[in-house]
Amino acid sequence: MASSFAALGVPAPLVDVLTASGIDAPFPIQRDTLPDTLDGRDVLGRGRTGSGKTLAFALPMVARIAADRSGRRRPGHPRGLVLAPTRELATQIAEVIAPLARAVGLEVTTIFGGVSQHRQVVALAAGVDIVVACPGRLEDLMHQKHANLDSVTVTVLDEADHMADLGFLPTVTRIMAATPVAGQRMLFSATLDNGVDRIVRKFLHAPVTHAVDDASSHVDQMVHEVLTVSGADVKRDVVHALASGTGPRILFVRTKHVAKKLAKALVADGIAAVDLQGNLSQAARDRNLAALRDGRARVLVATDVAARGVHVDDVALVVHVDPPTEHKSYLHRSGRTARAGAAGTVVTLVLPEQRREVHQMLRAASIKATPVEATAASAVVQRLVGERAPRISGPVVEVAEQRPAAARGSRGGAGSARRSGGAGSGRSGGAGSGRSGGPTRTIAEAVHANEAARSGEARPARRRGRGAAGTDTTRTDRGTAAGAGRQGGRGGAPSTRSTSGAAPRQGAAPAGPSSAPRGGYPQAGGASARPARAGGSRRANRPTGPVAGGPGANAAR
């Protein structure tokens, strides 16, 4: 069995890049798949998060495209395509591919939602060889004629099971159908349920299957602890205790609101914590992750958006503050620790009413752990906390940086970041540029940061309304800030709904007790009723008598 990348047939320039990054020996899934993928065969790879899948497809993709002398770079016509379910995962895959591509003169870019599409369109127009994309935004750019997949020779579906969980398979099917039938295709997935098997049957030609392990495979160095708590107050104290130790740790909760609230509560308690959840802009997500990686923060409070695609070195503790509802989420959350041969502990906190559901979930995940009754003072909690970290006296990052773009009073959501250099900025290499901007990581650092993520990029729900200046604004991906602030009513009338942390516009009436409907106006009779149209109110201009159509026709209006 080959024990080096060179012996497996990886071209010398790519081996040199790996060696310079400290990567000398291939992982099992790389040893198994590379002979087939380098030979151009379709491959179905099954392996859990953290098994080394990214290099398993990155190396053959770069090698085959570089060796294709008949192909040339054309604007809007990439030759390699990687589909990933989330922004975080797409970014980290691109970080692994980029140094390999540079070594052979290829260009790579990322495409995903939640940021302005401007830089992505510019990159495609300049010509790129490899695109790492999330399905929703890529299909949008295809419809806009910015991207054409007729030249794609290698297509990769990574985390296909997660794309199925997010409902992306119809979009993935349409994208795959737009690639040449004769192209090489590789699919990597922990499982083949939820329709993934149909993708395999339809698009992969006589694929070679390599199953190193599956989603239920366990890491020997990972210890699972189940702590039962008697009530919400006891649970809160245990959470604060577990978060008070040194070293990075990740706390998983179910909702965006709870993530934000818990992170603030921890900071108020002197614990360096940041949140990662769908209401944050891409720039805020990047800043919070950077704070955890560089040590300014020690605790990341996250929803499942971080379960795939987020890697931080030496995470020794993962806490399921809110237990997940199904076993695959448990395994992917837990996979943020005990990576690359390191040891780690996974703690699940269980309220009395959750015991049955958690027991069933752990059994489905093939996890054996004896529940232990615990309080913040319990010996098991003190052992898990270890050395306590020094207290902090203020937020880790500025609060304004953590708010979505719309909450800062911008008219155009994420697109307005072009004026301030934020996410999607056309000036400073903001998130989504794919080519430049942000800290550069070596493959050795990036390859460990590429095997996870959830939620992030969802198919844009294109909803158009009238902006305050009479311009169209578009709400984009679920959980992002793009177009989230509806600050203008029809006809440019100022809305009385102000975004979080922003004062109402000058001249707007104060918000009343009644709630506003989706159009941005409160219900009739509220303190901030719909502004009258120029020339008199709408009702005053209506005829008061019957109109054509018979008695009572006015009532039908």
Residue 210 pLDDT exceeds 90: no
Name the residue with higher pLDDT: 519 or 252.
252
What's 396's domain CATH number? Answer: 3.40.50.300
**Widest Cα–Cα separation across the chain:** 91
Instruction: Tell me which residue has tokens 């958006």.
Output: 305
* Tens-digit pLDDT profile for residues 340-373: 667 889 999 999 999 999 999 999 988 999 999 9
Full domain range(s) for residue 370: 222-402
Q: Indicate if 341 and 320 belong to the same structural domain.
A: yes
Q: Indicate if 191 and 124 belong to the same structural domain.
A: yes
Q: Indicate if 52 and 181 belong to the same structural domain.
A: yes
Mean pLDDT of 526-548: 45
Q: What pLDDT is stored for residue 340 in this prediction?
A: 60
* Domain-located, residue 148: yes
Q: Indicate if 148 and 204 belong to the same structural domain.
A: yes
Q: What pLDDT is stored for residue 2 in this prediction?
A: 64
Name the residue with higher pLDDT: 215 or 129.
129
* pTM reported for the whole predicted model: 0.63
Which residue type does 478 have?
R
- Give DSSP secondary structure letters for 268-322: HTT--EEEE-TTS-HHHHHHHHHHHHTTS-SEEEE-GGGTTT---TT--EEEESS
- Give DSSP secondary structure letters for 456-501: S------EEEE-TTS-EEEE-STTS-TT----B-GGGPBPS-PPTT
Pair of tokens at residue 311? 């890697």
Q: What pLDDT is stored for residue 89 in this prediction?
A: 87
Nearest to 75 by CA among 131, 27, 21, 117: 131
Query: Collapsing DSSP states into helix, strand and coil, what is residue 401?
Result: helix
How many C-beta neighbours within 10 Å does residue 3 have? 11
Work out the percent of the chain whose per-residue pLDDT is above 90: 48
Between strands 273-276 and 184-189, the pairing is unpaired
Q: What pLDDT is stored for residue 358 in this prediction?
A: 95
Residue 413 pLDDT exceeds 50: no
Q: Indicate if 308 and 236 belong to the same structural domain.
A: yes
* Tens-digit pLDDT profile for residues 284-341: 988 998 899 899 999 999 998 766 667 777 898 999 999 998 888 898 888 888 766 6
Which residue type does 551 have?
P
Q: Indicate if 315 and 393 belong to the same structural domain.
A: yes
Name the residue with higher pLDDT: 68 or 136.
136
- Burial of residue 406 (number of CB atoms within 10 Å: 0-12, 13-18, 19+): buried
Q: What pLDDT is stored for residue 104 in this prediction?
A: 95
How many C-beta neighbours within 10 Å does residue 524 have? 8
How many C-beta neighbours within 10 Å does residue 150 have? 9
Q: Final residue of a domain: which of 390, 415, 449?
A: 449
* Tens-digit pLDDT profile for residues 460-505: 444 444 343 333 333 334 443 334 343 444 444 444 343 444 444 4
- Residue 136: pLDDT band (50, 70, 90) is very high
Residue 39 pLDDT exceeds 60: yes
* Domain-located, residue 469: no
Torsional class of 371: left (φ above 0), alpha (ψ -120 to 50), beta (otherwise) = beta
Total number of domains constituting the chain: 2
Q: What pLDDT is stored for residue 545 in this prediction?
A: 47
